[in-house]
Amino acid sequence: MRLYGTMEIGTNGHLFIGGCDTVELAKKWGTPLYVMDEAEIRRRARAYRQVLAENYPDSHVIYAGKTFMTMAMCRLMEDEGLGLDLVSGGELYTAISAGFPLDSVYFHGNNKSPQELELALEQGVGRIVVDNFHELELLEELAAGRKQKVKIFLRVTPGVEAHTHTYIQTGQVDSKFGFGLQNGMAQQAVARACQLKHIELVGLHCHIGSQIIALDSFDVTVEIMVDFIAKLKAELGWECTELSLGGGLGIRYTAEDPEVSIENFGRRLADKLKGEIKKHALASPKLIVEPGRSIAGEAGTTLYTIGSSKVIPGVRKYVAVDGGMGDNPRVALYQAEYQALLANRANEEADDLVSIAGKCCESGDMLIWDLKIPEANTGDILAVFCTGAYNYSMASNYNRLPRPAVVLVADGKADLIVKRESYEDLVRLDEIPQRLAKGKMKIAL
């Protein structure tokens, strides 16, 4: 079984992360419980910064907040010198509440509301990434009303179909995101942005998808984007001074997944960009990359308590845990695959083939199909690896399940960074209309 980050098996047979016994973490904070490995988060953030500093010094690494966004995570990213890629007013408010430097915020999103844009203008975010013509005109109107000039990127859809799940491809021609390059919309958007008095177009952005392992997808993207930049300079006289190539680097969820190092990715991306810039005789733009999953994904582990089991002779054995698609919808959404072990019996032989079922009222609420673990008992703790990305951030209250707590572990110390929701939290925003108050006459049908 491959272990991640600072994981190790203790002499007591328990799984340790960041020097903390996961069995003790489960006892103290309950399950399901997200455990985030601080040292692994920092190591990966630093790897991005270092490889780009060495190979393309005029660069900026910005963390994709949609991956895993809390105030503590904002503080970690600030501490490591990263900016933030945010896509909603809620994410922006989280950064504001954490005291994050907003000039290092890049505000994305394909349907930002006027209120969200007003908040971004009021708070002075560094760049607003404009996704469509409606937003471009709205932003001009709002900036004019505030007598501001706002720096923007335009999001370009380069027409690259990355080798990943269909639902997390974003760079293909048929996409809800951005201005299409192949159909001429991107060039029209650049021309229009240059006409607007309260807009300063400083750069372009693209993002081709998520969980990308094949680096040739990025090579093609760089070629297309730099060719487009050269065309814009020749035909419109506009020079791109900043270029965001998005994120999307994949991680190893299972032993079968290929491993792509951050260092190899960074060197290859930088070399490719420098080569294309030289080929077109252009000035080098500032390079922005937006990693998320490859920083937080392998740093996260979810702990569950095992409950019931069910054997269907000749078919399979189901083992149920106290969480599921409410805290990890990725299996149902993307057919995602995970590895896991029994955290309290991590040194025992894994000789029982089981499938891990969640507790939600859905047949599709499965976490892992065909996992080998020791024969499980009720009360055992199951640790599912690589749940740091798009698990907490996509969690829901389906079946009115409270969302789990999150703890950050490092050097033998564990700190709560998100409290577990209570049943009281689940009804806190509910309202009962007066006509439904007890004792009131029912409406005649």
Question: Are the beta carbons of 76 and 41 closer than 8 angstroms?
Answer: yes
Q: How many whole angstroms separate alpha carbon 288 and alpha carbon 52? A: 10
Q: How many whole angstroms separate alpha carbon 78 and alpha carbon 45? A: 11
Question: Are the beta carbons of 333 and 395 closer than 8 angstroms?
Answer: no
Nearest Cα to 417, choosing from 62, 8, 25? 25
Question: Are the beta carbons of 384 and 325 closer than 8 angstroms?
Answer: no
Question: In sequence order, what are the residues at sequence separation of 6 or more whose Cβ sits closer than 8 angstroms to the Cβ of residue 120?
Answer: 92, 107, 112, 128
Taking the alpha carbons of 27, 337, 73, 45 in that order, is the dihedral positive or negative?
A: positive
User: Six-digit token pair at 194?
Assistant: 């240059």
User: Six-digit token pair at 431?
Assistant: 């309202």
Would you call 194 a catalytic residue per the annotation?
no
Question: Phi first, then psi: what are they for 337, rounded to 5°?
Answer: -120, 145
Question: Are the beta carbons of 388 and 302 closer than 8 angstroms?
Answer: no
Which position among 20, 194, 240, 361 bears the catalytic label?
361
Q: Which residues sit opposite 64 in a β-bridge?
A: 85
Which residues are tagged catalytic? Answer: 361
